[in-house]
Chains A and B, each alone.
Chain A
Amino acid sequence: MEELALHILDLVQNCVEAQASWVYIRVAEDPALNTLSVSIEDNGRGMNEEQQARAIDPFYTTRTTRKVGLGIPLLKAAAEDTGGSFTITSAPGRGTLIEASFVRDHIDRVPVGNMADTLSALLALHNNIELRYEHVVGDRSFCLSTAVLREICGDELSHPRIVSWLRSYISEQENSLEV
């Protein structure tokens, strides 16, 4: 995967499959400490220790149509390639927290990429999940919450015209973090 945003999209799909009703995505960049961390937390069905060990194994999946699950191993490798770390915290019935830390200026660090495209895809696809996204860069931050958006948009939140508008909005907000 060429963007962290694509890893995030892929892993949130796992949360959906694990029947989460909320997902919290956080991307925190600290230029001063030269760190970048990504965390994805959900209240889905969770995993026991054996399932967690198998989740980081590229030859394991819960899916039946194909024999290998690559989402988690790919993000783990992307983090570890920069000298960073990767952890899963989970228990059955208690949801899952995935954390990947990167050395921010490492030459192999995958760019954050297009979070507007990732979030608009998730908004279009998963109307029944509460999504909270936070992107912090130094002392700047952008936060998006579907609970807040739902107060404004109601059931029309996943309508193509609303999603397209939100994609441009997120893109503007994300770009202003980079300055």
Chain B
Amino acid sequence: MKSIEELRRLREEVRQMTKLREGSPEIKIIVGMGTCGIAAGARETLNTFVQEVAEQSIEGVSVTQSGCVGLCDREPIVEVQHGAERTIYARVTPERARRIVTEHIKGGRTIAEWITRN
């Protein structure tokens, strides 16, 4: 069973790491969390991003949400913001989320076949 002591130690570790880097995150991952997104699986998509960012200790990335953007048929919708560059991905399953982390977030290459327009 996980203990609160373990949580305390983890928090200290995280604090030491984040102290090293100041300022706002360079990359934002924005998951559509409206009713339509949630019904299409956005909760799993969001948690996959959070978990991948945690497990691979990727710093400078934040995971946030947007509401319904009117693309309900293409949910879960995920927008990746890197400076002025915005990429919108459609139907982001957990599998796709993992590839977005590897190829786009870490590798800097967008995945053209999943990009959608609004």
A interface, CB within 8 angstroms of B: 1, 6, 9-10, 13, 17, 63, 65-66, 69-71, 74, 117-118, 120-121, 124-125, 152-154, 156, 159-169, 172
Contact = CB atoms under 8 A, between A and B. Distances in A.
A10 B35 contact: yes
A10 B10 CA distance: 30
Nearest to B46: A121
B2 A169 contact: yes
A165 B69 contact: no
Given A66-B68, A117-B43, A125-B65, A168 B18 contact: no
Contacts, number: 96
| Interface SS of B by simple majority | helix
Contacts of A66: 34, 36, 68, 70, 72
A124 B2 contact: no
Contacts of A164: 50-51, 54-55
Contacts of B51: 160, 164, 167
Nearest to A125: B65
B39 A1 contact: yes
Nearest to A114: B43
A71 B70 CA distance: 16
B38 A159 contact: no
Nearest to B8: A152
A6 B54 contact: no
Interface string B16-44: 00100000000000000111101100011
A9 B45 CA distance: 14
Contact of B7 (A9, A69, A120, A153): A153
With a 10 A CB-CB cut-off, give which of A71, A153, A161 has the most chain B CB atoms: A161
Contacts of B8: 152
A113 to B, nearest CB: 10
A120 to B, nearest CB: 6
B36 to A, nearest CB: 8
